[in-house]
Amino acid sequence: MKKYIIPIIIVLSVLSCNSKEEKNVPQHKKGFELSNTMLKSISLAKVEKKYIEDDYNFYGKISADKNSYIDVYPLVGGNVLSVNAELGDYVKKGQVLATIRSTELAEIQKDVSDAKTDLVVAQNNLRVAKEMYEGKLNTERDVLEAKSQLKKAQDQLQRASAVSTVYNVKKGNIYSVVSPISGYIVQKNINKDMQLRSDRSENIFDVANTTKVWAIMNVNESDIDKISLGMKAQVSTLSYPDKVFDGKIDKIFKIIDPQTNAMQARVVLDNANGLLIPESKATIKVTNFENEMALAIPSKSVIFDDNRSFVVAYKSRTDVKVKEIKVLKQVGNITYVAEGLLEGEQVITNNQLLIYRSLNS
């Protein structure tokens, strides 16, 4: 029995040593992992291949659509009794803008009245001529002559009535200036008690429908080759610096103004909300797409450090890496990448600087 005691003791001793050695093995540090709070605070963007675009900024102004811009002229002279619209007022089509007392209306009304009287006389003459012809008291030629006079009277009344309609004659000698379209009063050259001459050549109101407006941009000679019809345009104004109004270049005026040495181009903008005010200053950014493609990421995802550019690439909460990239071009909120990323990868676009510092510490 004694011969088994030593081996058992040896075995127990070996097991005891192995157990101590396992306890002394150094534990590896756990890898970087995004916390639940940090995971919820980040946002991601996929690396995509896009056509390279170029942005150019131009300056100009907002202008009323000249196709919906009407000059209002008085058709008669006279004394201005009332002015019912002021600069900046919105008016509806047919609304009375001003009233004028005019002696010219009396002449127009007289012409209509005389034409009506002549028509009645001509109608009676024709009736009598027909009766006399039936009684063989005159000839067929007399009837034809009466019919001719009736036709002349009818034509005269039609002409006088048309003139009366154009001058908006109703009763009395008061002429009403009405708005031809719905829109805003953008110019006013009339005041109460003003005496208007009948041969006046200046308009008294300008009415502009501003549902659509134009952004007129000035293009220097050196930049003419950078714009073309159909280019996307984003317009901003001092009044609403945080708002962007989208449109396209729909016309290029191929004339250079000798005073500014610039050519003009036009962008049509929807202005149903009335925010764009004619004559206000505007900045117009136009976008041109090149024929080449490149990998693109949001500019806000790029970290610039020590004269180099980096992004934080994300695969999972435990697989987050800092990658150095070579920037091909940055255009606004898009950065085109020449090297360092693959299409389909994801980069962090929010709070990435904090993660970048944690990974580099």
The DSSP line for 273-331 is: T--PPTT-EEEEEEEEEEEEEEEEEEGGG-EEETTEEEEEEEEETTEEEEEEEEEEEEE
pLDDT at 359: 87
pLDDT at 96 over 90: yes
Interacting residues of 69 by C-beta distance below 8 A, sequence separation 6+: 186, 206, 207, 208, 209
Query: Could you give the C-alpha distances from 174 to 165, 246, 266, 284, 308, in angstroms and in order?
Result: 14, 47, 42, 48, 79
- The CA dihedral of 61, 191, 185, 175, to the nearest 10 degrees, is -140
Region 1-20: mean pLDDT is 42
How far, in Å, CA of 67 to CA of 65, rounded? 5
pLDDT at 299: 94
345 vs 88, more confident:
345
pLDDT at 338: 93
pLDDT at 160 over 60: yes
In terms of Cα–Cα distance, which of 185, 209, 177 is closest to 82?
A: 177
Region 54-61: mean pLDDT is 90
Phi, psi values for residue 79, rounded to 5°:
-95, 130
pLDDT at 188: 94
CB 350 within 8 A of CB 41: yes
pLDDT at 21 over 50: no
pLDDT at 171: 66
Region 195-216: mean pLDDT is 89
Assign 222 to helix, strand or coil. Answer: helix
- Tokens coding 263: 């050519």
CB 156 within 8 A of CB 118: yes
pLDDT at 31: 66
Region 66-70: mean pLDDT is 89
DSSP 223: G
